[in-house]
With several copies, the nearest count.
Chain A
Amino acid sequence: MSTRRLPVPPSERTIAPFGRRLLTVTANERLGAYRLLKAADPDGPAPAAGQFAMLAAAERWGAGEDERPYLPRAFSYARWLADRRSRRSPIGGETHFLLEDVGPGTRRLCELRAGERLWALGPLGVGFDPPEDERRALLVGGGVGIAPLAIWQDSLGAPGTVLLGFRDGARAEGATLLGDALLATDDGSVGHRGFVTDLLSAELDRDAHATVYACGPPAMLEAARALCAVRGVPAQLALEAGMACGFGACFGCVVPKRCGGYLRVCVDGPVVDAAELDRVEAHVGSPA
């Protein structure tokens, strides 16, 4: 499929077609410890960075560990390559998802081969907001959570400052998904030995006139949130939660709000203003 990368219009939310649609896998590439799943989405609209899709293999979705999966799984758009024919229309392109095998659903998707098909519903949720009053974009990602930062970097049109943290070297290979990034690994095999939030605090000390865009494990998000909060730096956090539907139907994907009550990650997020949360709880229903 002949495609060219186009900066995605930075709009917070793209409306999804009503109903799931079939995508055809064009490639499934190993990216260190992850898989980069590429699929043709001829009828899909260009997603906004930070949005996600609910995915399920079209064949044999189920019959894994404990007869699962049953429901579709949520995955951030990691990249969108608009079809050439549709330069003027925002419809149709190749979509990329970065996958980490953590259970029966991701395992099934990780084994999909080119030509096989998957169901997709999306783009769903609200994505990232561009920085305001000339703040620089500071992208902070942890593990497979780097996925939405890649498409965000594309749509910002400029590399910006990117800080990525991984557990080990194999996972750090995922960093190639983004342009020039500063790395940290828990085991020190690549880049700074320690947390990506160490890099973040250094960056903020150097220049705090930034908007932080963070996605990753809860502990990392919470650390980033706290670092930004004390410095009064605006932060947008891409959250995760176990989901059944992805479009606000089940009320299952909630996280507590600062002002009390809960927000639904799938429709009020996944990207939320850090100010909306007291703290990022260790989320459940998706890998820590």
Chain B
Amino acid sequence: MSVSFCGLELAHPVINGSGTFDAIAARRAFGKALDDAFPFAAFVSKTITLAPRAGNPPPRLWEAQAGLVNSIGLPNKGLERYMSEDLPELARLPAPLITNVMGSTAEEIAALVRACDARDEIAAVELNVSCPNVKSGLDIGADPGQLEHVLTAVRPALRKPLIVKLTPNCADVAECAKAAQEGGADAVSLINTLRAMALAPTRGHDAAQPRAWLGGGTGGLSGAAIRSLALAQVAAVAERVTIPVVGMGGIGSTAHARQFMDVGATLVAVGTESFRDPALALRIARELHPQHPPGMRRMNA
């Protein structure tokens, strides 16, 4: 039931959403059982940036209606220590490694991508373009023109497949996907979390100045609550582009995974729902019909 994706041969069509599974921490919790029953056909790392980031102050989590609002703030060791400390561990996983990177300028992104290009342990790169532009404050991925421009600049630095993780916080995600394709993306993945907010609970309504619950102020909504929004975005994107699409957003069952493939996703990613059961993706992969017609059709296209 192998699936070919950007030249990679994957055991099945289910991967993880970046930042929703830490294989190294999971090894500490589940031991070798994790490697014996590794749920993902490819492992996507948490977003890596050039410089280390501590992430946002707590609280970082808010539980919403059938969803989760997080403001983790992309904590990571930074490129250098990721390469020296994490890569050897991740290379031992029984699945190809996709490294997710983010930068706020073309130069930063190029440096990240170049570093990934140099390491054989990395099979492909996923570029997170949900990074706020320093000038406009908008995600650099929200403006099709700017996105294509950045990609054209950085694409030559990578000989491996480039997946662009689109931002859902835009007016026309399909247009952004088209721009990514024009810019040289080999695939696009979506959706990332949607901008959300929560206020600290107040017992009764005390006069106390209301304050945001999340240490980061605002956060991103994920999980079951966003599935119908994600399905609409994935369908719109798959209609517009010819490159493969990685669909995600609230996938919590094999039926959900099929829906995303039915609207044109080649791969699906499980994110928040893994928090309810880390082995969920494994169950989905096993239950999925090996050659799922719509998925295959688009892949062989």
Contact = CB atoms under 8 A, between A and B. Distances in A.
Most buried by A among B65, B224, B276: B276
B78 to A, nearest CB: 12
Contacts of A246: 275
Interface stretch (B25-33, B93-101, B140-148, B157-165): B25-33
A261 B81 CA distance: 15
A15 B29 contact: yes
A285 B59 CA distance: 7
B156 interface: no
A74 B276 CA distance: 12
A256 B54 CA distance: 10
B28 A248 contact: yes
Contact of A18 (B33, B67, B68, B70): B33
Contact of B279 (A19, A56, A242, A281): A19
A17 interface: yes
Contacts of A254: 55, 58, 60, 75
Given A70-B68, A243-B61, A261-B54, A250 B26 contact: no
A255 B60 CA distance: 11
A92 to B, nearest CB: 17
B181 to A, nearest CB: 31
Contacts of B223: 70
A247 B25 contact: yes
B26 A247 contact: yes
Nearest to A283: B58
B277 interface: yes
A244 B274 CA distance: 10
Contacts of A285: 58-59, 61
Interface in A247-288: 247-256, 260-262, 264, 267, 281, 283-285
A19 B278 contact: yes
B29 A267 contact: yes
Contacts of B28: 13, 248, 267
Interface stretch (A61-69, A82-90, A136-144, A179-187): A61-69
A249 B61 contact: no
B284 interface: no
Contact of B30 (A17, A62, A72, A261): A17
Contact of A244 (B68, B224, B277): B68
A99 to B, nearest CB: 18
A249 B275 contact: yes
A251 B37 contact: no
9 contacts: A72-B276, A119-B276, A244-B70, A249-B20, A250-B19, A251-B19, A252-B61, A262-B55, A267-B25
Interface of B: 19-22, 24-26, 28-31, 33-34, 36-37, 46, 54-55, 57-61, 63-68, 70, 72, 75, 213, 223-224, 272, 274-279, 282
Interface of A: 13, 15-20, 56, 62, 66-72, 119, 121, 124, 241-256, 260-262, 264, 267, 281, 283-285
